[in-house]
């Protein structure tokens, strides 16, 4: 099982870099959708004894992260009629390099931290931190509102990976609550994006700078 | 009781969705808030009625926050009815639903004994309050809402990671992963230190974003400035108190783990940074609502400093949650009235509020004196207790700096408030005058102010007992 788990985590890390390397927002959304499905599979692979609640939580995660949220984002994208992230704060290639550096940093960082001696893959904690950092890179270096929301989603995905270690601490009801919050949060963001587009005819967040001292 | 308090507001939110009349709907707010407040008081002072489940129970700190939250929300709901009638041109379905949903979520925060559940509830309050900022449908309010949602969500996401780190510190110590508050407290000394430290920093940043501590405060002046005064009161009094409660539980675990020396320095640093940033931005601040936002940042700093000082200041800190919340209610609601009368919240236009709106002007002036720590109001007592605690705990430098910063804030805020309430009313405002002080929009403000004054003169014994109980609970001596 650990081999499959490691393989999944490596694919997730590669998808992270792919989101940094493309400017077509639709492709970023598709990549995140695939990542979401893989994330949903993670808990199923990670635990030997599968309980019904765990399977249910996985299914809900797959449906929300792999289908509902990406479809919602695609709709928002269609409404605003913008296809590409033009002129990000740092270019696509430097972003990939930065993302790769973040991944290396995460691996080094976790090798310094004492890890719990359980049988699970040692890759989980570094993958989680690397994914969180990539989410941050997208959030801070892209200017289109929708790309920032995707960055937030990737950040949450990273936290979700960490949560795989802690299934017993998070009962299903609460896990569902977390997923529901994420779903509603992105739903509200998509509505705000369409409002921004109606009022400002753009979804470039640089336009949102009237409020200051 | 817990389910009743949490689900009753949610039920009312569902009713609000069904009601078609824009005029009738606002009445649901007091209809939900009054029973909520009554039941909260009964439950808090009659613990036998508060049945507990595994994840839901009222600890002493939860009780204090439930009291202030429920009371302030009730007065805001009285104020909301005339406000929403005055703004009858706006659809208020979303607004009323979000407020009621918010009340349910915030009650869940006070009751939750599972850190994961508490996180879910706090994130739910963020989502419920975002649409409230957009009530005025202006370009600026969209900007404020966007910043609030993005900064708030990312901050809260970090808090979730921190929460997971706490569970991991328990897993690492070989105790199994758990997020149940009581169990964590029991096992606190055994928790893996390095993961607990990392968790504390993430949670300080995460819940600190929600409280509005500097340097994560940037969303706060924008959100408070662009939303209706009523929403500002709820943000500054209710949301921040709950975020502080969440943080207080984390603080409690770290103190129980014997980490006070480590976190104390961090807390004092963050607290003073918030006070300094707030004091600097309050000087020459011309926007009344933004000024109040900075005042809120300052007071969150004060609460965090109180925690940093530790045991001797805990009583003052817990009391300050209540006094700050109530006073913020008066400030935001009276500024809301002034904003409506003048059509502006900028002191370039707002002059002579004492003449134009004798009631709201007086309340603003009185609440300004109260919040800056002048006797005989409630915040004086709590701030005085914190300063005394600082000197008792031999934090002479902190105590001194605290007093200096209070003076700077007093002067900075005083200039703005006096500018607004004194002087002559501009002619163009006098002519178009469409809004006046009245009973319905004045009474809730006056009632809150009376409470603030009352707490400054006399703290009832049950409340005193409750706070002492909470101090003991947090590991101090009463």
- Per-residue pLDDT reduced to its tens digit, A59-107: 999 999 999 999 999 999 988 877 777 778 888 999 999 999 999 999 9
Using a pLDDT cut of 90, give the percent of chain A over it: 56
Q: Give the three-state DSSP class for B381.
A: helix
The answer to whether residues A196 and A146 touch, using CB atoms and an 8 Å cutoff, is no
Identify the helix (H) or strand (E) that includes residue B241: helix B240-256
Does A205 contact B146 at a Cβ distance shorter than 8 Å?
Answer: yes
For residues B72 and B241, what is the distance between their CA atoms, to the nearest angstrom?
A: 11
- The answer to whether the CB atoms of A170 and B179 lie below 8 A apart is yes
> ipTM higher than 0.90?
yes
Q: Whole-angstrom Cα distance, residue B271 to residue B304?
A: 5
- Residue B81, preceding peptide bond in cis (omega within 30° of 0): no
Structure-token pair, residue B220: 């706060």
Q: Mean pLDDT of all residues in chain A?
A: 89
Residues of A in contact with B126 (CB under 8 A): 185
The structure tokens listed for A211 are 């409020």
Interface with B, mutate which of A166, A171, A196, A201 (most B CBs under 10 A):
A166
Residues in chain A closer than 8 A to B174 (CB atoms): 116
- Residues of chain A positioned with their CB less than 8 A from the CB of B226: 211
What's the rounded Cα separation, in Å, for the pair B395 and A164? 43
| Alpha carbon distances (Å) from A70 to A25, A62, A149, B181, B461 | 11, 11, 11, 35, 56
Q: Residue A118: its pLDDT value, please?
A: 63
Q: Which helix (H) or strand (E) segment is B283 a member of?
A: none
pLDDT digits (tens, 9 = 90+) for B347-385: 888 998 898 899 999 999 999 999 999 988 999 999 999
Give the pLDDT of residue B209.
96
Q: Minimal Cα–Cα distance from B101 to chain A, Å?
A: 13
Query: How far away is chain A from the Cα of B393, in angstroms, using its nearest Cα?
Result: 35
Picking from B420, B434, B441, B417, the residue whose alpha carbon sits closest to that of residue B341 is B434
| CA dist., res. A165 & res. A162, Å (int) | 6
Q: Which residues of chain A does B131 touch, with a Cβ-Cβ cutoff of 8 Å?
A: 188
Q: How far apart are CA B135 and CA B138, in angstroms?
A: 8
| Res A191 pLDDT > 80 | yes
Q: What is the pLDDT of residue B477?
A: 59
For A163, which of B147, B164, B178 is closest by C-beta distance? Answer: B164
Asked whether the beta carbons of residue A159 and residue B160 sit closer than 8 angstroms, the reply is yes
The tens place of each residue's pLDDT in chain B, 478 residues long, gives 888 899 999 999 999 999 999 899 999 999 999 999 999 999 998 877 777 788 899 999 999 999 999 999 999 999 999 999 998 888 999 999 999 999 999 999 999 999 999 999 999 999 999 999 999 889 999 999 999 999 999 999 999 999 999 999 998 888 888 899 999 999 999 999 999 999 999 999 999 999 999 899 999 999 999 999 999 999 999 999 999 999 999 999 999 999 999 999 999 999 999 999 999 999 989 999 999 999 999 999 999 999 999 899 999 999 999 999 999 999 999 999 999 998 889 888 899 889 889 999 999 999 999 999 998 899 999 999 999 999 999 999 999 999 999 999 999 999 999 999 998 888 887 777 677 888 888 999 999 999 999 999 999 999 999 999 999 999 865 4
Query: What is the per-residue pLDDT across B84-107, written as a single tens digit (0 to 9) for each?
Result: 999 888 899 999 999 999 999 999
Q: Identify the closest residue of chain A to B118 by CA–CA distance.
A: A174
Is pTM beyond 0.90 here? yes
**Which residues of chain A lie closer than 8 angstroms to B119, CB-CB?**
178
The angle subtended at Cα B233 by Cα B9 and Cα B401, nearest 5°, is 130
Structure tokens at B402: 């605290």
In angstroms, rounded to a whole number, what is the distance separating the alpha carbons of residues B89 and B25? Answer: 14
Give me the pLDDT at residue B458, please. Answer: 93
Nearest by CB to residue B120, choosing from A168, A181, A213, is: A181
- In degrees and rounded to multiples of 5, residue B180 shows phi and psi of -75, 125
**Which of A122, A171, A175, A211 to substitute to test the interface with B, most B CBs within 10 Å?**
A211
Query: Which residue in the block uniquely carries the two structure tokens 């819940």?
Result: B207
Residue-level pLDDT at A117? 64
B274-295 burial string, b = 16+ CB within 10 Å, else e?
A: bbbbbbebbeebbbbbbbbbbb
Closest CA to B66 of B41, B91, B46: B41
Contact A192 B145 (CB under 8 A): yes
User: What gap in Å lies between CA B416 and CA B409, rounded to an integer?
Assistant: 11
């Amino acid at each position: 099982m650990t081999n499959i788990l490691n393989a999944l985590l490596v694919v997730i890390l590669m998808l992270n870099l792919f989101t940094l390397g493309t400017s077509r927002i639709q492709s970023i959304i598709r990549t995140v959708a695939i990542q979401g499905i893989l994330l949903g599979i993670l808990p199923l692979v990670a635990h030997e004894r599968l309980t019904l609640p765990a399977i249910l939580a996985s299914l809900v995660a797959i449906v929300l992260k792999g289908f509902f949220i990406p479809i919602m984002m695609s709709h928002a994208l269609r409404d605003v009629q913008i296809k590409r992230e033009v002129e990000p704060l740092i270019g696509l290639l430097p972003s990939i390099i930065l993302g790769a550096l973040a991944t290396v940093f995460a691996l080094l960082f976790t090798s310094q931290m004492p890890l719990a001696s359980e049988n699970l893959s040692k890759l989980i904690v570094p993958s989680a931190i690397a994914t969180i950092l990539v989410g941050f890179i997208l959030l801070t270096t892209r200017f289109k509102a929708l790309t920032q929301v995707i960055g937030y989603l990737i950040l949450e995905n990273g936290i979700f990976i960490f949560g795989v270690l802690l299934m017993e601490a998070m009962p299903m009801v609460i896990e569902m609550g977390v997923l529901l919050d994420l779903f509603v949060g992105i739903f509200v963001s998509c509505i705000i994006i369409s409002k921004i587009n109606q009022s400002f005819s753009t979804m470039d967040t640089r336009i949102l700078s009237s409020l200051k001292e | 009781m817990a389910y009743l308090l949490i689900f009753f507001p949610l039920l009312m939110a569902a009713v609000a969705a069904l009601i078609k009349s824009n005029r009738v709907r606002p009445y649901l707010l007091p209809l939900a808030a009054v029973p909520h407040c009554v039941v909260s008081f009964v439950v808090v002072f009659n613990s036998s009625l508060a049945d507990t489940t595994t994840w839901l129970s009222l600890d002493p700190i939860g009780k204090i926050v439930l009291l202030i939250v429920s009371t302030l929300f009730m007065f805001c709901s009285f104020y909301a009815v005339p406000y929403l009638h005055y703004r009858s041109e706006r659809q208020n379905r979303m607004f009323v639903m979000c407020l009621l949903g918010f009340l349910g979520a915030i009650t869940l925060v006070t009751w939750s004994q599972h850190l994961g559940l508490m996180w879910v509830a706090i994130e739910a309050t963020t989502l419920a309050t975002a649409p409230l900022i957009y009530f005025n449908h202006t370009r600026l309010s969209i900007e404020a809402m966007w910043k609030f949602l993005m900064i708030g969500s990312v901050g809260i996401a970090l808090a979730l990671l921190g929460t997971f780190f706490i569970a991991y510190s328990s897993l690492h110590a070989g105790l199994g992963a758990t997020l149940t508050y009581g169990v964590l407290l029991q096992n606190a000394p055994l928790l893996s230190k390095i993961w607990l430290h990392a968790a504390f920093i993430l949670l300080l940043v995460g819940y600190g974003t929600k409280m509005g501590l500097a340097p994560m405060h940037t969303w706060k002046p924008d959100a408070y400035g662009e939303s209706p005064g009523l929403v500002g009161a709820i943000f500054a009094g209710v949301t921040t108190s709950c975020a502080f409660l969440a943080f207080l539980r984390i603080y409690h675990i770290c103190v129980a783990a014997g980490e006070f020396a480590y976190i104390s320095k961090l807390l004092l640093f963050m607290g003073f940074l918030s006070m300094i940033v707030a004091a600097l931005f309050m000087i020459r601040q011309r926007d009344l609502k933004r000024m109040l936002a900075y005042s809120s940042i300052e007071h969150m700093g004060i609460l965090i400093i109180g925690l940093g000082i530790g045991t001797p200041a805990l009583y003052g800190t817990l009391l300050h949650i209540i006094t700050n919340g109530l006073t913020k209610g008066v400030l935001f609601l009276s500024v809301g009235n002034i904003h409506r009368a003048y059509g502006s919240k900028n002191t370039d236009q707002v002059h002579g509020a004492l003449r134009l709106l004798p009631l709201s002007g007086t309340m603003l002036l009185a609440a300004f004196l109260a919040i800056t720590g002048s006797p005989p109001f409630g915040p004086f007592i709590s701030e005085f207790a914190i300063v005394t605690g600082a000197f008792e705990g031999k934090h002479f430098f902190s105590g001194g700096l605290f007093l200096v910063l209070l003076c700077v804030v007093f002067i900075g805020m005083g200039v703005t408030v006096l500018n607004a309430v004194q002087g002559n009313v501009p002619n163009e405002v006098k002519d178009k005058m469409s809004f006046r002080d009245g009973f319905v929009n004045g009474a809730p403000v006056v009632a809150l102010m009376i409470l603030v004054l009352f707490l400054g003169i006399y703290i009832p014994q049950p409340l005193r007992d409750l706070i002492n109980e909470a101090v003991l609970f947090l590991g101090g001596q009463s």
